[in-house]
Amino acid sequence: MFVAIGWIVVVGSVIGSFVGVGGHLPALIQPFELLCIFGAAIGAFVVGNPVTTLVKTLKSLPSCFKGGRYTKAQYLELIALLYELLQKARKEGMMALEADVDAPGQSPLFQKYSHVLEDHHLLVFIVDYLRMMSGGNINVLEMQDLMDEELDTHHAESSLAANAIQKMADGLPAFGIVAAVMGVVHTMGSVGAPPAVLGEMIAAALVGTFLGILLAYGFIGPLADLLHAKARAQAKPFQCVKAVLLASLNGYAPPIAVEFGRKVLFTTDRPSFQELDDAVRATKMPKSA
């Protein structure tokens, strides 16, 4: 929704100021300039990216028009799950988690937290490292390095679409210049035409530069920035899990370990200490309560 609102503000401001100073709106309607700019940009986009990146970009674009994936309530759900897992391991031993991590879909513990179950990548991240922890004899520093490597890979994959769109935005002003130059060449080929006709042809040529810059900085570039922001937000649940599990491996009790996970969250989504404490206490209450 906010993307559409932003685009409307961009178009309204630019077109409104042009009309306000007496500009003629039909002069900006140049469909063949758009064809030249967009066609060349899309062609270069296809040439410069492998098929996997093209597919990922197409799948990522709809997310620009949706809200954030994780909310404070969902982070509380994630942390509460981690607390219950660590508490069970603390009481019964890490081997007690074997059934839960081998089949999380059938685990009564995991089934209480549907949002985590629906997030396949995060679920795999959790159970993989719990499985490693239950195996014993794991070095904390080595596990941290492994987590960092996996998160770096996750970040690189989630940034593919944003980087590809940013490159496309960077090329749009240049393609706008190409369209403008072609318009000037066309004008020079008609140098014998009346001045009024030449003026319209030159104006049409200059619209190419205008459109290339406007599309780059008003439309396509901001989409790349938004996708980068969403990629950073998508990494936060993984960083939360990492902080909690490493704190547990370092010997902290579950109530303290989950506090490590709370602290890595963005302040806009971070539960307060009291909210986290209430969520942890709720896991200790019997179902009848």
What average pLDDT does this structure show over 244-262?
93
Q: Is 43 exposed, middle or buried (0-12, 13-18, 19+ CB in 10 A)?
A: exposed
Distance CA 99, CA 130 (A): 11
- Residues 19/25, Cβ–Cβ less than 8 Å: yes
Percent of the chain with pLDDT over 90: 56
Distance CA 206, CA 180 (A): 5
Distance CA 245, CA 88 (A): 14
- Residues 224/162, Cβ–Cβ less than 8 Å: yes
Q: Can you give the pLDDT at residue 35? A: 92
Tokens of 41: 């940009």
Q: Is 270 exposed, middle or buried (0-12, 13-18, 19+ CB in 10 A)?
A: middle
Identify the sign of the CA torsion 91, 97, 98, 103.
positive
The more confident residue out of 195 and 44 is 44
What average pLDDT does this structure show over 118-127?
92
- Residues 111/81, Cβ–Cβ less than 8 Å: no
| CA 238 remoteness from chain centre | 14
Q: What is the pLDDT of residues 75-113, one digit of tens each?
A: 999 999 999 999 999 888 888 888 888 899 899 889 999
Given a cut of 60, whether residue 139 has pLDDT beyond it is: yes
Q: What is the pLDDT of residues 161-181, one digit of tens each?
A: 999 999 999 999 999 999 999
- Residues 123/117, Cβ–Cβ less than 8 Å: yes
Distance CA 148, CA 109 (A): 27
